[in-house]
């Protein structure tokens, strides 16, 4: 990948009006509920940004005034990354994606969830005009109701002491501070958090 200079992380969907009303329970709405996963990915890939600019809006779809659209812009010395989440996008689930751009290639996963297709485009295959993604790596389809089973099994192993949790307390604390800032808690000091 070379030096990563941009991550575009999108976790959109379309929730019914009742679910979007429920989002009012959380400052940041959908950014807190879904965008948290994208913020985690950006932090893992790039570490702490220099600046964060949160944008939180209500689309007003179906007369719901909850914060159902969130975008966080992360400034790094060599680029800008974004975490986006909305609960109002038609076919948003199908457009969930992660794009990582580096000086030696681009990695793209779209959609993020079943069916999952991934592409890696190395620099030597690039073209100024044209799509050079080539053949997708397709991951096996899975039952959406069981999509977190492996993650929960890992968590159980951590709790029982059978495996080491790869995420430290300082990582988790920093991630929570980043998330809160992206959800409009701009008084949270994420800049002094421990670097991963």
Using CA atoms, how far apart are residues 124 and 104, in angstroms rounded to an integer? 8
The pLDDT value given to residue 164: 95
pLDDT at 105 over 70: yes
Between CA 75 and CA 43 the distance in angstroms is 12
Bridge-based pairing of strands 97-102 and 4-10 is: antiparallel
Which is more confidently placed, 114 or 23? 23
pTM: 0.91
Q: pLDDT tens across 122-142, in order?
A: 888 777 887 887 778 888 777
Count Cβ neighbours within 10 Å for each residue of 35-61 and write b for 16 or more, e otherwise: bbbbbbbbbebbebbeebebebebbeb
* Confidence at residue 195, expressed as pLDDT on a 0 to 100 scale: 55
Q: What's the pLDDT tens digit per position in 3-34?
A: 999 999 999 999 999 999 999 999 999 999 99
Tokens of 81: 């990354």
Share of the chain above pLDDT 90, in %: 74
For residues 89-98, give the mean pLDDT: 94
Q: Mind listing the domains of the chain with CATH numbers? A: 4-182 (3.30.360.10)
pLDDT reading at 47 higher than 60: yes
Residue 112 has pLDDT above 70, yes or no: yes
Q: How far is CA 109 from CA 4, 7, 68, 105, in A?
A: 16, 12, 24, 14
């Amino acid at each position: 990948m070379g030096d990563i200079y941009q991550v575009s992380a999108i976790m959109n969907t379309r929730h019914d009006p009742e679910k979007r009303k429920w989002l009012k329970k959380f400052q940041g709405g959908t950014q807190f509920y879904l965008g948290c996963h994208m913020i985690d990915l950006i932090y893992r890939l790039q570490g702490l940004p220099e600046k964060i600019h949160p944008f939180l809006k209500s689309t007003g779809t179906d007369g719901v005034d909850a914060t159902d659209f969130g975008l966080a812009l992360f400034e790094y010395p060599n680029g800008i990354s974004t975490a986006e989440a909305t609960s109002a996008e038609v076919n948003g689930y199908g457009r969930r994606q992660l794009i990582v751009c580096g000086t030696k290639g681009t990695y793209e996963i779209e959609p993020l969830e079943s069916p999952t297709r991934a592409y890696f485009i190395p620099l030597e295959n690039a073209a100024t005009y044209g799509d050079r993604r080539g053949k997708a790596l397709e991951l096996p389809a899975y039952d959406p109701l069981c999509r977190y089973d492996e993650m929960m099994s890992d968590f159980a192993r951590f709790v029982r002491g059978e495996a080491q949790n790869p995420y430290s307390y300082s990582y988790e604390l920093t991630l929570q501070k980043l998330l809160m800032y992206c959800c409009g808690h701009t008084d949270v000091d994420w800049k002094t958090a421990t670097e991963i």
